[in-house]
Amino acid sequence: MSLPEFQDDATPPDAAAGRAASRSPRPHGAPAGAGPDSERRGGTAVAERAPGPDADAQEGGPPTGDLPIRETWSPPPVGPRADAALEARLRRRIDHLTKPLGALGRVETLMLQFGLLQGRVDPRLEAPQALVFAADHGLAARGVSAYPSEVTAQMVANFVAGGAAISVLARQHGLGLTVVDAGVRGTVPPGAAGVAPGAVARLVQPVGPGTADASQGPAMSPAQCVQALELGRDCVRALPGNALVLGEMGIGNTSAAALLTARLTGAPLDDCIGRGTGLDDAGLARKRALLAQVAARHAGASGPLEALAAFGGFEIAALAGALLQAAHERRLVVVDGFIVTAALLVAHALRPAVLDACVFAHRSDEAGHPRALAHLGVEPLLALGLRLGEGSGAALAWPIVASAVALLNGMASFEDAGVSGPADLGEAA
């Protein structure tokens, strides 16, 4: 599956044709000169592709049809990043910085992780990108959210217009922002008037007009599930840089995430169901009852890909593909909240070493998130009571990630600074 070219709405036809011939799209955030779009600033880049069957066949991939997904799709290889010699060098470097041993706490753990991920003692963060997938869920029509499904499309417009939380945070922290329509139902309206747009790339790559109602059958066909997974992989391949902030938007997606979390962790379903966008007690009770029915209907969907197809959604599948591709490429990934972590549960079940590439931004206020984090055995950086999604929590954690790299590379050693260190440190790396 190949991504279509990024095209600016205001681009003359001859310039657009030249770009298409170059086959080198440049999302916002790429270094200057990285491609034919390198001088574009502001506005909205839109690339469209009509919904259709899995495009894998265009590259000779396996046909999907109605075969079980595990027989038709394989995740990219993700090897463990263990390197005893490099780890020893990194630890010596960290311990010789002008500070007491361990004084930077978990920031030192991040330093070590980043060095091992990149295979060097002086890791770098290059052209960091925020990547947000959006899609609708058929289950939303059953009243599992406090908001109607139309809000998904409206919020995509808000992302592109620059008025959403992730839009503001991406601008603040210098993150390129790409918003991918993986299956938004209906037409995305124009952006909010009066909000100055940032340079936001918007890709229109719908797998379908939202998933099917999971209470009536599988949310996705096997072909759609594969198409969404490959969409996520292709989006990562197309982006510059070596670091990602992942986010999502989709009314009803806390229901899909709760179902996936319960199925893949073994936690009780009720413990994974929260208020989402703000359901009252009656709404929460209705959501619990409906999701129990959905879980029972798909009791046989026990594998990660089968569960993903059964419960949805397109944006969660795309996130799972993006996580796997990023880990394959040794990109650092800052994982947002409940929905992105549910996608990671799928990726982790397929390739456990994906965790080596991941930093967990925060503990969401959504009920199922602590269960997912505990299953993965990870501890997030922040606990701020967030439950917004969009990648907002990951963007808020980004300065900690950037600071860890800056400290590792910028702090002087005891020897360089002429500061007396502990006697048992030995030589610096």
Q: Which of 71, 315, 390, 427 is catalytic?
A: 390
Other CB atoms closer than 10 Å to residue 214's CB: what's the count? Answer: 29
Contact 393, 364 (CB under 8 A): yes
Other CB atoms closer than 10 Å to residue 367's CB: what's the count? Answer: 21
Order across the sheet with 44-48: list the strands: 44-48, 200-204, 176-183, 129-135, 243-249, 332-335, 358-360
Where do the DSSP E strands lie in 90-229? Answer: 129-135, 176-183, 200-204
**Number of helical H runs and strand E runs in the chain:** 15, 7
Closest CA to 407 of 86, 95, 101, 97: 97
Structure tokens at 257: 């995430």
Contact 214, 193 (CB under 8 A): no
Contact 133, 232 (CB under 8 A): yes
Neighbouring residues of 243: CB distance < 8 A, sequence distance ≥ 6:
125, 126, 127, 128, 129, 331, 332, 333, 334, 401
Closest CA to 257 of 212, 319, 206, 203: 319
* CA gap 242, 236 in Å, rounded: 10
* CA gap 294, 193 in Å, rounded: 40
* Identity of the residue numbered 420: S
Structure tokens at 230: 């490959």
Neighbouring residues of 169: CB distance < 8 A, sequence distance ≥ 6:
130, 175, 392, 395, 396, 398
For the question of residue 390 being annotated catalytic, the response is yes
Active site residues: 390
